[in-house]
Amino acid sequence: MPEGHTVHRIARQLTQDLVGRRLAVSSPQGRFAAGAARIDGQVLVAADAVGKQLFCTFESGDVLRVHLGLYGAWDFYGSLTPLVQGGYSAGSMGAPRLRRAVRMGEGERDVPVGEVFPPEPVGQVRVRLASDATVADLRGPSACEVLDPAGAAAAIERLGPDPASTDDLAAAGDVMVHRLTSRNVAVGQLLMDQTVVAGIGNIYRAELLFRARLDPHTPGRRVPTDVARVLWDDWAVLLADGIERGFILTREDLAEAQREEAVADSTLRHWVYHRAGEPCLVSGTPVVVEDMATRKLYWCPTCQV
């Protein structure tokens, strides 16, 4: 499932290459024909991410809300502006040029593209946003709808705070800390609850808990306030880094050369995630995997006590 950093990167790509343009909006698959017709021919005025949800606002005030879910992704074609200026990140878009294509979902990768622009839709494309130079195709989302301004505001209000979507990190952190420490639910489950804090998925959950040396089974009410604040502050740092890099890197012990290796080798990026049965990199204890909140949870029973 795409986590918060990916959705923020998608919002940035849309902002750079489609915001301010009058767009042709269609539903090649046909399942979103009515919604597409409602916003077709309008100028896209903003693209914002809150947690794992994307909100694209059009000149009428109507908002396209998208949640990628487990399998959703955006394919971008055409003239694409690099997301990182003067630097490198995994999935970097490269110099703007026609017939460039990249998929942004759980990861980022180049996708095949032909010589004709705009390309014919491939597969089950729910929505196509198209300018004369850039096309964005959405496929496989768990939610895709057009809301009026009040409906969009209500959808955002239901979400927990997102460090990358607030101008007041301290106040947003207060909200997250209160919601987490006021419930008698395992903290490993609360971090995946998008009404508590927005954007955290399976990788970030496992890594945040390990970095805080916190047992994932600890009820929220038993998590000290200062520890909950550490979780929020660490989440803000890791999210910002993921947005810039295009992938999740949580091991602060890596030397610079190893960090460069981690660009290509995902096995170097994490302390416990996807390392079930392997020795913990700190204690040597085999990393445990179990189901929590319908997803696989990885943790070290020695370090996280």
Q: Are 235 and 3 in contact (CB under 8 A)?
A: no
Mean pLDDT for all residues in the chain: 90
Phi then psi for residue 74, to 5 deg, are -110, 135
Is 52 annotated in the active site? yes
Least confident of 108-112, 117-121, 214-218, 279-283: 108-112
Name the percent of the chain lying above pLDDT 70: 90
| Separation CA 34–CA 27 (nearest Å) | 9
CA atoms within 13 A on the CB side of 161: 21
CATH number at residue 191: 1.10.8.50
Over residues 7-12, mean pLDDT:
95
Asked whether the predicted pLDDT for residue 4 surpasses 50, the reply is yes
Same domain, 202 and 122: no
Same domain, 80 and 136: yes
Same domain, 69 and 190: no
User: pLDDT tens digit string along 156-176?
Assistant: 999 999 999 999 999 999 999
Which of 22, 38, 103, 295 is an active site residue? Answer: 295
Asked whether the predicted pLDDT for residue 97 surpasses 50, the reply is no
Name the percent of the chain lying above pLDDT 90: 79
Q: Is residue 13, in this structure, part of any structural domain at all?
A: yes
pLDDT band at 116 (very low <50, low <70, confident <90, very high): confident
72: three-class secondary structure by DSSP: coil
Q: Which residues partner with 138 through β-bridges?
A: 74, 127
Last residue of a domain, one of 95, 122, 157: 157
For residue 96, the model assigns a pLDDT of 30
Q: How many CB atoms within 10 Å of residue 198? A: 25
Quote the longest CA-to-CA distance of the chain.
59
Q: Give the number of domains in the chain.
A: 2
User: pLDDT tens digit string along 224-253?
Assistant: 999 999 999 999 999 999 999 999 999 999
pTM: 0.90
pLDDT band at 105 (very low <50, low <70, confident <90, very high): low
Is 2 annotated in the active site? yes
Asked whether the predicted pLDDT for residue 82 surpasses 60, the reply is yes
Asked whether the predicted pLDDT for residue 101 surpasses 70, the reply is no
Asked whether the predicted pLDDT for residue 218 surpasses 90, the reply is yes
Residue numbers of the domain that contains 234:
163-299
Asked whether the predicted pLDDT for residue 20 surpasses 80, the reply is yes
Asked whether the predicted pLDDT for residue 90 surpasses 70, the reply is no
For residue 117, the model assigns a pLDDT of 80
Same domain, 20 and 44: yes
Q: Is residue 305, in this structure, part of any structural domain at all?
A: no
Task: Report whether the peptide linkage leading into residue 118 is cis, meaning its omega lies within 30 degrees of zero.
Answer: yes
Which of 9, 28, 52, 126 is an active site residue? Answer: 52
Output the DSSP codes for 78-90: ES---SSTTS--T
DSSP strand E in 15-124: where?
Answer: 24-26, 44-50, 53-58, 63-67, 73-78, 100-104, 108-110
Asked whether the predicted pLDDT for residue 95 surpasses 80, the reply is no
Q: Is residue 95, in this structure, part of any structural domain at all?
A: yes
Same domain, 149 and 19: yes
Is 295 annotated in the active site? yes
